[in-house]
Structure 1
Amino acid sequence: MSRAFILLLDSFGLGATPDAGKYGDAATNTFGHIAAWAAKEGKPMDLPNLEKLGLAAAAHTACGEWAAGFNQRDGFTAAYGAAREQSTGKDTQSGHWEIAGVPVLFDWGYFPKEVPSFPKELTDKLQELTGVPGFLGNCHASGTTIINELGDEHVATGKPILYTSADSVLQIACHEQHFGLERLYDMCEKAYELVKPYNIGRIIARPFVGENGNYKRTSNRHDYAVPPHAPTLLDHVKNEGGEVIALGKISDIYAGQGVSRVVKGPDNMALFDALLKVQDEAGDKSLTFVNFVDFDQAFGHRRDVAGYSNALHEMDARLPEFFAKMKDGDLCVITADHGCDPTSPGSDHTREHIPMIFFGPGVQGRALGISDTFSDIGQTIASHLGVKPLSNGTNLL
């Protein structure tokens, strides 16, 4: 029996790529800078399971430096390496699609870093179609910050909060009770149609709850994404009779294309619980793909270094539970989709190498070097599952 698992730590970069300077990210290193911060605080990071798999060695391959506090130099139990993105930009969709064999070689549309960020003809038409009294925000912002800044006004006026980021995205935040969840979804569906001429990749519904300046986003987020422009690894597996189980926001990112089953969870640890349950259920030729989103949305974008470090420690502590449930024929890869260095200014993603850490009962520990495309990950999994090869990428194992 052959099964595959992709554990994607959203935004967990291993250091700037050679072209990162074009994106203003030449000095970024998500993992390295978190480790340096922890060491400076007198509390060096301790990720024994990830380190034994080869995480620090993969980071050294990527950036030429050993992360502070990580001392293992050999005896790794996984095939480890790093990958550079072939796609343009540093978007969520681009990273995920390229992992699955479909690089994004065109330019997405983006909204400018100015106020207002969105064209007047776009917001006027959206207001006309939805009947809202107007909009708040209309700028680049951190989602967790802007709902606390504008949540009270939103509740009082009924005006949705619009914002964007360095991603090709328009995000709409509304209170679940005061505005209504279904009403928010309906607005996002209308916005999805309106942004097509701008070549925008996603509309994201960002529902939240709370009161009096203390608001929290809920797990009812929904992405309305442009579907991949070519068949992905997910399509290949599903089309050949394998089950594709999408945990977290994976199904949204691929617009449901190639997905057999969707499993949601409010945070990293709930998703890990769901992963363990799926691990018991998944059958032969199955692909389980989970996105651990908190690294990105809760800590990377918020530039919360301590929170990011704590989340990595939580993840590392849970890995033995996953190891214990692995079966003969299982292949797992730990990876990411881009960086989001919490020590960098601003709140945007960063153009970095991503980890490629393959492990399982049949995998020998060894160095893989640096891949020139994320698609090597998907091609390796396609080969393992015995499905049709992808159009891009090389089998690394």
Structure 2
Amino acid sequence: MNRAIIIILDSLGIGASADAAKYGDQNSDTFGHIVEACEAGLANNNMRSGPLKIPNLLRFGLGAAAVGSRKQSLPLDTHEAVQGAYGHAVELSSGKDTPSGHWEISGLPVLFEWGTFPKQENCFPAKLMQDLLAQGNIKGTLANKHCSGTQVLVEYGEEHLRTGQPICYTSDDSVFQIAAHEETFGLERLYALCDIAKKLVDPLNVTRVIARPFKGLTAATFERTENRKDLTTPPMGATLLDHIQDKNGTVVSVGKIGDIFAHKGVSYTVKAADNMGLVDQMLDQMDKVKEGLIFVNLVDFDSKYGHRRNVAGYAHALEEFDARIPELEAKLGQQDLVLLSADHGCDPTWPGSHHTREHVPVVFYGHYCGEAVKACNLGERASFADMGQTVACHLNLEPLNYGTACELTR
């Protein structure tokens, strides 16, 4: 079996989808707006300044993919020729959530609506919260509303420390989140409470319950830790990951991939505290695993910068990742195919703090079925599943149920 490395730049959308207005995301463009903000000097901090500097990602084809998606130019330094195959993909799934995006990339679009909670105070059903209190042996909860993960700590973190009551909140996505102090409440207690919550929200068709541990003593010092845990509804059918394991191949989850797939089709998981730690883990696994799939999610783009509407931080994170690409290239062999993509958008210039409905980049680099990937425009792909189908062909697997393989060696 050949080897594939899929790297999800979590939330790096490249332009609003045709149906973005349905989600309130018309004209959103995560990557494009970051590039424009950098060019205008609006994304400077003590870590970076000036135009966005991502020569390796541009060489792979990310810039060309973005221009094709938005159908207009971007102020990018493109003096080096594109070496990869590039295009953009339209999401066939109904939402703009993390599991749907990843599953569709893996050949399993979600063609139904997940359950969500209304945008109002006390947004969770009374019966759900009563059962959570009783089964979780807790006296009360805080928040019970739509809120960003950082703002909810500012508003309720100190009260949580005083009362011991966990903070329950949601977003536009199909998710129930519980934040609690990692030390005073306890990490294992938080995980156990989330296990209870997942069983309670399953009848509501809610995709995920997320444990959000944090540390610190005041609103000014609260910080989420790396011990986040996602409890996800298992995929409702076979994915690329299952097909690989059916052929006795190895599937390595780097970061939260295992949680996203409810560990279905995953051989084992390695984690790290941040993007650069995850890149370290990916490179280490490339030394160890020579066949199958290494599946990486670089979550900081979304959780630390997209949701927090931090344009400069997002830009710096892209530049940090770009600087590590030569290390990836040095470990590639003639049986290795790299895919760079995203699962949705999270435009840091867009109002609110939620995901945005966008096209995602489709960027292939390396070798496909033993031949070098040619620099070519793959155009608009009708589904994220085209990416999974392409990887399935490269790994010599049976075709997936969805998707049309891209032509990478013409």
**TM-score (normalised: structure 1):** 0.98
2:243 counterpart residue number: 236
1:45 counterpart residue number: 52
1:151 counterpart residue number: 157
Structure 1 residues without counterparts, runs of 5 or longer: none
Give the C-alpha shift of residue 283 in structure 1.
2.3
Once the two structures are superposed, the pairs formed by residues 76-155 of structure 1 within 5 Å of their partners are 76-155=82-161
Give the C-alpha shift of residue 78 in structure 1.
0.3
Write out per-residue CA displacement over residues 189-219 of structure 1, whole angstroms, 9 at most, x where no aligned residue.
Answer: 1101101121100000111111122111111
Contact 1:57–1:66 (8 Å) recurs in 2? no
1:64 is aligned, of 65, 68, 71, to 71
Once the two structures are superposed, the pairs formed by residues 225-374 of structure 1 within 5 Å of their partners are 225-284=232-291, 286-361=292-367, 362-374=372-384
1:376 counterpart residue number: 386
Q: How many residues align?
A: 395
2:198 counterpart residue number: 192
Write out per-residue CA displacement over residues 45-79 of structure 1, whole angstroms, 9 at most, x where no aligned residue.
Answer: 1110011111111011111022223444x831000
Give the C-alpha shift of residue 258 in structure 1.
0.1
Q: Look up the equivalent residue of 2:112 and give its one-letter code.
A: F
1:2 counterpart residue number: 2
Determine helix, strand or coil for the equivalent of 1:205: strand
Q: Look up the equivalent residue of 1:217 and give its one-letter code.
A: R
In the aligned structure 2, how far is the partner of 1:386 from the partner of 1:191?
40
Give the C-alpha shift of residue 19 in structure 1.
1.0
Q: Look up the equivalent residue of 1:383 and give its one-letter code.
A: C
Give the C-alpha shift of residue 223 in structure 1.
0.7
Task: Calculate the aligned-residue CA RMSD, in Å.
Answer: 1.1
Determine helix, strand or coil for the equivalent of 1:195: helix
Contact 1:162–1:172 (8 Å) recurs in 2? yes
Could you tell which deviates more after superposition, 263-272 or 211-220? Answer: 211-220
In the aligned structure 2, how far is the partner of 1:148 from the partner of 1:216?
10
2:404 counterpart residue number: 394
Q: Look up the equivalent residue of 2:149 and give its one-letter code.
A: G
1:34 counterpart residue number: 34
Write out per-residue CA displacement over residues 110-163 of structure 1, whole angstroms, 9 at most, x where no aligned residue.
Answer: 011111111111111100111212111111111122123211110110100011
Write out per-residue CA displacement over residues 261-282 of structure 1, whole angstroms, 9 at most, x where no aligned residue.
Answer: 1011111000000011001111
In the aligned structure 2, how far is the partner of 1:57 from the partner of 1:124?
52
Contact 2:258–2:266 (8 Å) recurs in 1? yes
In the aligned structure 1, how far is the partner of 2:234 from the partner of 2:73?
38
In the aligned structure 2, how far is the partner of 1:327 from the partner of 1:9?
22
**TM-score (normalised: structure 2):** 0.95
In the aligned structure 1, how far is the partner of 2:21 from the partner of 2:75?
24
Q: Look up the equivalent residue of 2:58 and give its one-letter code.
A: E
Q: Look up the equivalent residue of 1:117 and give its one-letter code.
A: C
Q: Look up the equivalent residue of 1:44 and give its one-letter code.
A: P
Determine helix, strand or coil for the equivalent of 1:134: coil
Q: Look up the equivalent residue of 2:318 and give its one-letter code.
A: L
In the aligned structure 2, how far is the partner of 1:140 from the partner of 1:248?
26
Q: Look up the equivalent residue of 2:33 and give its one-letter code.
A: H
In the aligned structure 2, how far is the partner of 1:308 from the partner of 1:35?
10
Structure 2 residues without counterparts, runs of 5 or longer: 43-49
Contact 2:55–2:77 (8 Å) recurs in 1? no
Q: Look up the equivalent residue of 1:216 and give its one-letter code.
A: E
Q: Look up the equivalent residue of 1:307 and give its one-letter code.
A: G
Question: Which stretches of structure 1, 4 residues or longer, exceed 6 Å deviation after superposition?
Answer: none
Determine helix, strand or coil for the equivalent of 2:150: helix
Give the C-alpha shift of residue 373 in structure 1.
0.1
In the aligned structure 2, how far is the partner of 1:85 from the partner of 1:49?
26
